[in-house]
Amino acid sequence: MKGSIRTYGTIFFIFILVEGVSQLSPGKLSESHAHLEGLSNCTQCHSLGNRVPDDKCLSCHEEINDLMLSGRGYHVSSDMNGKDCVDCHNDHHGRMFEMIRFEESSFDHLLAGYELQGAHEVIDCRACHQPDLISDINIKKRENTFLGLATDCISCHDDEHRGTLSNNCNSCHTYEAFSPASLFDHNTTQYQLSGAHTDVDCNLCHPVFESNGSQFQEFRGIPFNSCVDCHIDIHNGNLPGNCNECHIDNSFNRFIGQGRFNHNKTAFQLKGKHTNTDCFLCHDNNVLANNVFQDLVGIQENNCISCHTDIHDGKLGNDCASCHDEQGFKTTINTSFNHGLTDFPLEGMHQQVDCKSCHLDKLTDPIDFTNCSDCHADFHEGEFLSVNASIDCVDCHTVNNPFDFTTYGLEEHNTSTFPLEGSHIATPCFMCHVSEDKWTFRNIGSNCIDCHDDIHEESIPLQYYPENNCNTCHNAETWAQVEFDHKLTSWSLEGKHQSVECRSCHFYEEDGLIIQNFSGVNNQCNSCHLDVHENQFDKGGITDCSRCHNPDSWEASEFNHQLTAFPLDGKHQEIKCSECHKDRVSGGETIFVEYKIKKFDCIDCHTY
């Protein structure tokens, strides 16, 4: 009987113990956490009295912690702000419970730090998320994980270029398709495409060949310094120089050698008109490419009649170069003729004149050359001849310089009726001697107003400006320097007024025009200066500033307060002016200082 009681007690204790444990644990752990079952392991994940803290989770899931510390992956995205691990991965729901669960088809991959674009948008997730493509060992050993993939292309794709090009695939390819490389710009390479090269299939220059058991296309190391690196020389080496001296890359059949091919590399150097002659006027273009331009090999210079017709019919010999050169047949350079043996040796500018400019008919017809006007028109139209018939062009001009150069200088001008002084020395001749596109040298006037406008326009009384004589105030050195004795007027300049520019008082603007006023200037202070006292000292409509101020400085002289309506006595003599004379303010700005105080009773300023 005692044994039965002991047995029943044991069974009851076990029942109570099991019930207690079941109340402590909310349910079985998932398969991945099954090794943490039991009361002794609770604190592996839980903190007493709190939820499961993130640091407990991350102490085991180090690979997640590493990603978060490096700022990578879904767990540091904006979608995870304010969330704990257990908000998404809670447990105690049974062994078969999936702690990682989400809708793959609707997952926003941008939250994982890599936006899916193009072909990536339609590919199955596990086509990329494979253990073989994960480099992190700790993540790689996890089954069915979506963590640990790198974002660079070669972490998933084979390097088609085998390290010969940059790993920055996005510089040439798009996410839509690897081929064609639509983003590639050939102009960023050392060989920029132009002309027909822009339409050539890439494979013609970058062939695909078998290498190490697979196909490989070479893009780097292709020679391009010479056309024959890619093209066959159809001239078989018969022509020197580069192809682009005669051809362009738009079409090989289009010959553009004119002006580009260096003919001086041959035995016949091109000069003068020959440099502009069409190549095929001399060379036969009805030959094969390997024989083109070979038909005149060995031709000698100065053997003109081998190409040109002798229009002299052999009467003058075959040495064409004795009279002509390559600049043009009609231009003779008869070096055997010495013009110095004639009565008119050629000097200066005459040496550059074409013979036919003087020899209008035959070269042997006599020409009158006594005076310049025998050949040249009188540019001055008799202006000087009317004064002195013996004057000739050589008095001012020379054949060694063009006609617009003159030997008539300052020294000669100072013997005229108008010697040059001051700024007139630096004035170009045409400023005074050209009128209506015609040069005039006589009777142009010597008074200032003959050349200059009277800017005062009769605004100055004649008593200060007799006969419009500018020299009264100005000189030839500079117009801006004015010397006028203001004492001659009714208002002599004193103090600061002596340094004021004339225009400050005598010029004003009206309707966009500058108006001068020399005779009607008001000499009252407030006609030029603002009345800062706002008419406090106005008497009969006039404010006499000189009662307190002088022209030397605006600062007032010593003011005698005893002459006012409120003589200062006692302590009043020690008070600052501003204690009684206050600023009158309007709109936050001081308008004036009140000096004319109307009340003088003690209570007006003092308090009891």
Does residue 245 belong to any structural domain of this protein?
yes
Bond into 567 cis (ω within 30): no
Enter the DSSP assignment of 550: B
Distance CA 435, CA 445 (A): 13
Close Cβ partners of 25 (under 8 Å, ≥ 6 residues apart): 39, 92
Residue at a domain's end among 271, 306, 341: 306
How many other CB atoms sit within 10 Å of the CB of residue 583?
11
How many other CB atoms sit within 10 Å of the CB of residue 451?
13
Q: Residue 25 has what pLDDT?
A: 67
Query: Model confidence at 481, in pLDDT bands (50, 70, 90)?
Result: confident
Residue bearing the bigger pLDDT, 257 or 39: 39
Two structure tokens written together for 127: 């086509």
For the entire predicted model, the pTM comes to 0.40
Place of tokens 């150097």: 269
Distance CA 434, CA 439 (A): 4
Does residue 1 belong to any structural domain of this protein?
no
Distance CA 338, CA 345 (A): 9
Residue bearing the bigger pLDDT, 535 or 364: 535
Q: Residue 385 has what pLDDT?
A: 78
Distance CA 344, CA 350 (A): 10
Q: Residue 1 has what pLDDT?
A: 47
Q: Which amino acid makes up residue 154?
A: I
Query: Do 480 and 458 contact (CB within 8 A), yes or no?
Result: no
Q: What percent of the chain has pLDDT over 70?
A: 91
Q: What is the largest CA-CA distance in the chain?
A: 175
Query: Model confidence at 93, in pLDDT bands (50, 70, 90)?
Result: very high
Residue at a domain's end among 306, 329, 356: 306
pLDDT tens per residue, range 98-154: 888 888 888 999 999 999 999 999 999 989 999 989 988 888 888 888 998 998 999
Are 211 and 259 part of one and the same domain? Answer: yes
Are 292 and 237 part of one and the same domain? Answer: yes
- The residue segments making up the domain with residue 285 are 182-306
Determine the 3-state secondary structure of 251 from DSSP.
strand
- What integer is the mean pLDDT of 559-570? 89
Are 532 and 519 part of one and the same domain? Answer: no
Buried b (16+ CB within 10 A) or exposed e, 299-331: eeeeebeeeeeeeeeeeeeeebeebbbbeeeee
Of 326, 314, 319, 323, the residue nearest 303 (C-alpha): 319
Q: Residue 109 has what pLDDT?
A: 93
Close Cβ partners of 220 (under 8 Å, ≥ 6 residues apart): 164, 165
Are 236 and 137 part of one and the same domain? Answer: no
For the cut 70, the answer to whether the pLDDT of residue 76 exceeds it is yes
Q: Residue 19 has what pLDDT?
A: 45
Q: Residue 515 has what pLDDT?
A: 86
Query: Model confidence at 5, in pLDDT bands (50, 70, 90)?
Result: very low
pLDDT tens per residue, range 144-194: 889 989 989 998 998 989 889 998 999 999 999 988 889 999 999 999 999
Distance CA 200, CA 221 (A): 19
Determine the 3-state secondary structure of 60 from DSSP.
helix
Are 124 and 194 part of one and the same domain? Answer: no
- What integer is the mean pLDDT of 44-73? 90
- What integer is the mean pLDDT of 591-605? 88
SS3 for 306-349 is HCCCCCCCCCCCCCHHHCEECCEEEEECCCCCCHHHCCCCCCHH
Does residue 98 belong to any structural domain of this protein?
yes
pLDDT tens per residue, range 11-29: 444 444 444 444 466 899 9
**Whats the size of the chain, residue-wise?**
608
Lowest mean pLDDT across 39-48, 355-364, 412-421? 355-364
Mean pLDDT of the chain: 84
Are 532 and 516 part of one and the same domain? Answer: no
Does residue 586 belong to any structural domain of this protein?
yes
Does residue 223 belong to any structural domain of this protein?
yes
Q: Residue 572 has what pLDDT?
A: 93
**Bridge pairing between strands 589-593 and 583-586:** antiparallel
Are 108 and 194 part of one and the same domain? Answer: no
Of 547, 565, 564, the residue nearest 556 (C-alpha): 547
Are 518 and 544 part of one and the same domain? Answer: no
Query: Model confidence at 312, in pLDDT bands (50, 70, 90)?
Result: low
For the cut 80, the answer to whether the pLDDT of residue 538 exceeds it is yes
For the cut 90, the answer to whether the pLDDT of residue 65 exceeds it is yes
- What integer is the mean pLDDT of 396-419? 89
Query: Do 79 and 162 contact (CB within 8 A), yes or no?
Result: no
Are 468 and 537 part of one and the same domain? Answer: no
Q: Residue 259 has what pLDDT?
A: 65
Does residue 164 belong to any structural domain of this protein?
no
Two structure tokens written together for 410: 């300052």
Close Cβ partners of 212 (under 8 Å, ≥ 6 residues apart): none
Place of tokens 């078989």: 236
Q: Residue 58 has what pLDDT?
A: 94
Of 259, 255, 302, 303, the residue nearest 277 (C-alpha): 259
Exposed / middle / buried, residue 498 (Cβ in 10 Å: 0-12, 13-18, 19+) = exposed
Q: How many domains does the chain have?
A: 4
Nearest-Å Rg of the Cα atoms of the chain is 54
Are 266 and 288 part of one and the same domain? Answer: yes
- What integer is the mean pLDDT of 304-311? 83
Phi, psi torsion values for 542, nearest 5 degrees: -125, 135
pLDDT tens per residue, range 435-479: 877 888 888 888 888 888 888 877 888 888 888 788 888 888 888
Does residue 15 belong to any structural domain of this protein?
no
Q: What percent of the chain has pLDDT over 90?
A: 20
Q: Residue 57 has what pLDDT?
A: 93
Distance CA 595, CA 566 (A): 11
Are 43 and 128 part of one and the same domain? Answer: yes
Are 537 and 494 part of one and the same domain? Answer: no
pLDDT tens per residue, range 343-394: 888 899 998 888 888 878 766 677 888 888 888 888 888 888 777 777 788 8
Query: Do 150 and 135 contact (CB within 8 A), yes or no?
Result: yes
- What integer is the mean pLDDT of 428-439? 85
Does residue 19 belong to any structural domain of this protein?
no
Determine the 3-state secondary structure of 585 from DSSP.
strand
